[in-house]
Amino acid sequence: MQRLSQRKYAEMLGVSNNAISKAIQEGRIAKGWDDIAKKIIVPIANREYGYKYGAIVGEEMNPPTLGGRQDGPVTLNERTTYEEAVRLQAVFSAQDRALELNKKKGLLVAKSEVDKQMFVAGQEIRKALESMPDRVVDSIRASENRAAGIRIMQDAIFEILTKLSELNESDKEV
């Protein structure tokens, strides 16, 4: 099997040496890396990583599969066969259907909705914490010692957090 240095393999793919080094460290090139000789095993590395950059694997490209790792966008090029394009279309269609199903089941939510609810929750937390000093400052000043003042502050914080955790979901919606 052909073996190359990281630098030569990077040149062959048209990427930086750092990209290859990072791929090895992150495990995207695992079986294609000979740790003892510190060399890339080209045919194996092409199947693991090089296909993304047009490296030939046997006679065809080796695009990612539904169960495989997808580290970058899948592109069709002049070497992609019609059968492979149809297969990729079926894979992507299945992925879309799975996402739609998870969305309908409530397993997926829109990021914008989560952001809105987090903003509202943050505002509630901020209002509750900003009003706390006005309510407890006199009690803290009148406390017998430092420990008693700290205890008053802790009780007030605990009370605020308890009330916030008991908020009804309808109270937090926008």
Q: How many domains does the chain have?
A: 3
| Predicted structure pTM score | 0.39
In this structure, the answer to whether residues 76 and 57 fall within a common structural domain is: no
One domain for residues 126 and 77:
no
In the predicted model, what is the mean pLDDT of residues 16-33?
92
How many Å apart are CA 123 and CA 115, to the nearest integer? Answer: 12
Q: What is the pLDDT of residue 151?
A: 95
Is residue 78 pLDDT above 80, yes or no?
no
Please check the confidence at residue 68 and state whether its pLDDT lies above 80.
no
State whether 1 and 57 are in the same domain.
yes
Range of the domain at 157: 111-172
**One domain, residues 23 and 56:** yes
State the pLDDT at residue 143.
Answer: 93
Does 35 lie in the same domain as 6? yes
The rounded mean pLDDT for the chain is: 82
Please state, in angstroms and rounded to a whole number, the distance separating the CA atoms of residues 170 and 115.
16
4 phi/psi in degrees, rounded to 5: -135, 160
- For residues 61 and 132, the model is more confident at 132
- Confidence class of residue 88 from pLDDT cuts 50, 70 and 90? confident
Q: Which residues contact 33 (CB under 8 A, 6 or more apart)?
A: 24, 39, 40, 41, 45
